[in-house]
Amino acid sequence: MTDWFDRPVLAGAHVRLEPLSLDHAEGLFAASADPGIWTWLRHRQPSTVDEMRAIVAGSLAAHAAGKTVPWVQVDAGSGEVAGTTSYHDVEATDRGLCIGGTWIGAKWRRTGVNTEAKLLLLDRAFGDLGAERVAWHTDHRNERSQRAIERLGAAREGVLRRHRLRPDGSFRDTVVYSIVAEEWPPARERLVSKLAR
């Protein structure tokens, strides 16, 4: 049986998901120069590579503690680090997980990188791992993220009130979306078709 916390390389035409490591800190720092990336993330924008390295180290510690499964998104054409993504709230017994901690640098928006990364993660979840449910959590104010999740074919389930603490000390309400196993085949077809365009 496949370990839900394994991090194999997942490769597509636009993006390659590699296990996140400290070696990626410099590339992540360069990719994350746009302050807009940090609006919805748990951390404040790092001002140095060392600060980015500390963020990566935190992600790796969360992985070691069985809390997340982090990957780095690498542009398949150029080999440049484009961003990150991960599984979190992994519940192998209940056959569910969430996808989150996802961001890409501004130059990779609308390139197929993010869409293909989701396809690779969903294929692994529903195919390799036998997941019954994959979910997403996003800030209720992040409408761009909500539309992107909806384009994946996910259903909006509801809102968790005062769910997470933002870096500025305020609490966010979290919108929850999911795709369940029987919804994945038609959702997958739409994603593959979208990438082919």
Rounded (10°) CA dihedral 40, 44, 49, 51: -130
Q: What is the mean pLDDT of residues 95-107?
A: 96
Asked if residue 197 has pLDDT above 90, the reply is no
Query: What type of residue is 141?
Result: R
Superfamily holding 10-196: Gcn5-related N-acetyltransferase (GNAT) (3.40.630.30)
pLDDT, tens digit (0-9, with 9 covering 90-100), for 134-176: 999 999 999 999 999 999 999 999 999 999 988 888 999 999 9
Residue at token pair 């919804």: 183
Pair 44, 38: CB distance under 8 Å? yes
Per DSSP, the residues of 113-180 read HHHHHHHHHHHIIIIIS--SEEEEEEETT-HHHHHHHHHTTPEEEEEEEEEEE-TTS-EEEEEEEEEE
Q: How do the domains of the chain map onto residue ranges?
A: 10-196
How high is the mean pLDDT of the chain?
95
2 band by pLDDT with thresholds 50, 70 and 90: confident
